Amino acid sequence: MGDIKIKVNIEDRLYLNRYAANTVSHLSIKDQTVCAKCKEKPCTDFCPAHVYEWKEGRIVAGFEGCLECGACRIGCCHDNIEWRFPRGGNGVQFRLA
Amino acid sequence: MAEKFDAIVVGAGVSGLAAAYTMAKAGLSVIVIERGQYPGSKNVMGGVLYRHMMDEIIPDFWRDAPLERPVVEQRFWFMGRESVVQTGYKGMEWAKPPYNNFTVFRGKFDQWFAKKCIEAGALIINETVVEECLIKDNKVVGVRTDRPDGDIYADVVVLADGVNSILARNLGFHREWRPNQVALAVMEVLKMPSERIEERFNLDKGMGATIEIFGDGTLGMIGTAFIYTNKEHISIGCGTLLSQIREKHIKPYELLEYLKQHPIVRPLIAGSEPCEYYAHLIPEGGYDSIPKLVGDGVLVVGDAAQFVNGIHREGSNLGMTSGHFAADTIIHAKKIGEYDERALSHYRDVLYNSFIIKDLKKYRNASHTMEANPKFFNHYIPASNKAMSEMFIVDGKSKADRQRLAFERITEGRSKLGLVSDMLKIWRAVK
C-alpha cells in the first residue's frame, strides 16, 4: 500500500456546502514563531477543509471553509491553535448526513 | 433572559434530545441550546441509527420519523489494491417491522426529534453557543451563552455538546483528547436514483445495505471506510485515527477520492453526483477515555462522554441511551430535591450496569492492540487477498500446492509462531 497520487481541489468539495458566513475568525494561531519552527506543519495536510496554509512565512487560517471537526485543535503538535465554535448560527450548516 | 429551568441541555444531537424528550415528558421544564441554525445542522454521522434504543425513548418512532432505508444487509470488505475478500449477512427478518436499524440523515432526523421534544414541552433555542458553565459554590448552576444577557440557570446542566466537549474539559472532567483517542472521518453524500441504488446493491424496493471496508480503503491505516445506501443518495466516507493520518501526511479528502476511484468501489458509485462534503471527529478512546461523568449539578452524555463502540460502529444508540439514563436520574433528583454529585451519581451506576459501559469495557484493549500491531491492517488484509487469489487460480497445479501457496501468502515475512501469536492477540482484543 503506497501513497496517493490523486490530487483534489478542495474548493470543489467545500463549494457543495452551505455556509452562514462568519464575520470574525473562530480560529487563530497562538504564536506564529512556533509554526515557523514546526518542521512538519501537519495541519496543512490533515485539515479536511485545507483551512491552514503556509504562506510567506506564516500559517494562514482560511476559517471560512472550516467544517468545525476539531481535528486541528487536537492534532496540532504544539497546541498552537486557538479553536472556538463560530458564533451561534454561523459557519457550516449541513442539510443531509 | 435570566430564567431558571429544571434542566439545560447543551447540544441538540440525539443524546441531548433523548435527555430533553424524556425530561419534558415527565413534566420538567427543559431548555435545549443548539449552536446550529437548526438541530442536525452541525451533526455528522455515517448514517446508521439503531431502532431498539430509539424505540425505548419514542415507541414506534419509525412509523413517523424521516428515515432513509431499513438495513437488510451488512457487508464487510477486506480490501486490497485491486481486490476484495468479502463477508457479511443479509436477512429478510430485517426487512419487516419493527426492523433492526436504518440509514438516516441527521440533518432531517434531528429536526424531527427536536419537534417531538417541543411537542413534549421542551424549549429549543437555535443559533446559540454555550461559552461556559456558570459555577456558584463549586456547583454548576447554569450556562453563559453568546447572546446578550445570555445567562440561563437550571438545577442541572446536561453536557451533550459532542466530541469536542470543551465545556466538560473546562470543568476538568477530562484532559484534551490525544490524537490517538479520536478518528478523523470525512464523507460525501452522492445523489443517485433509488432504482439504480436497488439494482447495484441487489436490494428490494426501499431496503438498504451497508458496507464496512477495512484495508486499502484507508491505505492500511487503522480505521474503516464505509458505503451506506440512503433513499436517493449514497454516503461514502473513510476515517482513521487522527494520529495515523497526521503521521502519514495524507490529506483526508484525497484519501476519500482514492476510495471513490478504487476499482472495487468505482462501479458502485459511477454516475452519481456529489451533494455535500463533511468532516467529523469520532471518539475512539473507549473505556479508558471515559471522562468524569457526574459533578454537582452536571452530567455528561453521548460523544462528549466518549460513548462510541468503534468495533461495532455504534455511537448514536449509546448516546441516546445515555441521554435517557441522565434524564431518569434528573427526574428522580427533582423528586428528592437534591442535585449534588452524590444524588446524580445514580446515572453513573446505571451506565456501568448497562450495555454501554459493558461493551466499551469488553473492547477496552482493541484499539490499543491494533495501534500497536498495524500489521493487522497493512499486512494481513493484503495477504488474505493474495491468499484467496492463489486458492482460486486454476492452472494445473494440485490443490495441495495451491493451498500451500495461499498459506505462504499469509505467513510471508513472518514465522508460523508469529502468525499464531498475532491471531491470539486479535482474539484477546475482541473476545
> What are the tens digits of pLDDT across the range B3-29?
799 999 999 999 999 999 999 999 999
* Strand B208-215 to B294-295 pairing: unpaired
Nearest 5°: CA angle at B378, between B372 and B381? Answer: 115
pLDDT value at A2 more than 70:
no
**Average pLDDT over chain B, rounded to an integer:** 95
Question: Out of 3.40.140.80, 3.50.50.60, 3.30.390.30, 3.90.950.10, which CATH number does the structure's domain B4-68+104-176+286-363 have?
Answer: 3.50.50.60
Computed on alpha carbons and rounded to an integer, the radius of gyration of chain B in Å comes to: 23
In chain A, the percentage of residues whose pLDDT exceeds 90 is 90
| Pairing mode of beta strands B4-10, A27-29 | unpaired
Domain spans of chain A? 10-86
CATH 3.50.50.60 in chain B, residues? Answer: 4-68+104-176+286-363
pLDDT one-digit tens code per residue, A33-58: 999 999 999 999 999 999 999 999 99
State mean pLDDT over B141-158: 97
Query: What nine digits make up the cell of B82?
Result: 485491486
What whole-number distance in Å separates Cα of residue B97 and Cα of residue B90? 16
Question: Residues of A near B (CB-CB distance < 8 A)?
Answer: 1-4, 6-8, 10, 13-14, 16-17, 20, 40, 42, 45-46, 48-50, 67-71, 73-75, 79, 85-89, 91-97
CA atoms within 13 A of residue B35's CA, in its CB half-sphere: 23
What per-residue confidence (pLDDT) applies to B355? 96
User: For cell 424549549, what's the residue?
Assistant: B123
Of B40, B43, B250, the CB nearest to A45: B250
CA distance A46 to B214: 20
User: Going by DSSP bridges, is the β-strand pair B151-159/B4-10 parallel, antiparallel, or unpaired?
Assistant: parallel
Residue numbers in A near B44 (CB within 8 A)? 94, 97
CA-based torsion, B263, B269, B273, B276: positive or negative: negative
Nearest to B13 by CA among B50, B56, B55, B43: B43
ipTM value, please give it.
0.96
Whether residue B263 is preceded by a cis peptide bond, meaning omega within 30 degrees of 0, is no
* Residue closest to B349 by CA, chosen among B331, B321, B329, B323: B329
Range 269-298 of B in CB contact (< 8 A) with A: 274-281
Residue B291 contacts residue B172 (beta carbons within 8 Å): no
CA dist., res. B389 & res. B277, Å (int): 36
Report domain B182-283's class. Answer: alpha beta
For the segment A25-38, the average pLDDT, to the nearest whole number, is 97
CA–CA gap between residue B130 and residue B354 (Å, rounded): 30
For the question of whether the overall pTM of this predicted structure is more than 0.90, the answer is yes
Q: How far, in Å, CA of A46 to CA of A26, rounded?
A: 18
Mutate to test the interface with B, among A50, A69, A81 (most CBs of B within 10 A): A69
Q: Quick one: pLDDT at residue A1?
A: 44
Mutation test of the interface with chain A: which of B191, B253, B256, B262, choosing the one with the most A Cβ atoms within 10 A? B253
Is domain A10-86 given the CATH code 3.30.70.20 in the classification?
A: yes
- pLDDT tens, residue by residue, B245-301: 999 999 999 999 999 999 999 999 999 999 999 999 999 999 999 999 999 999 999
> pLDDT confidence of B2, banded at 50, 70, 90?
low
Q: How far is A33 from chain B (nearest CA, A)?
A: 21
State the Cα–Cα distance between residues B146 and B164, nearest whole angstrom.
Answer: 18
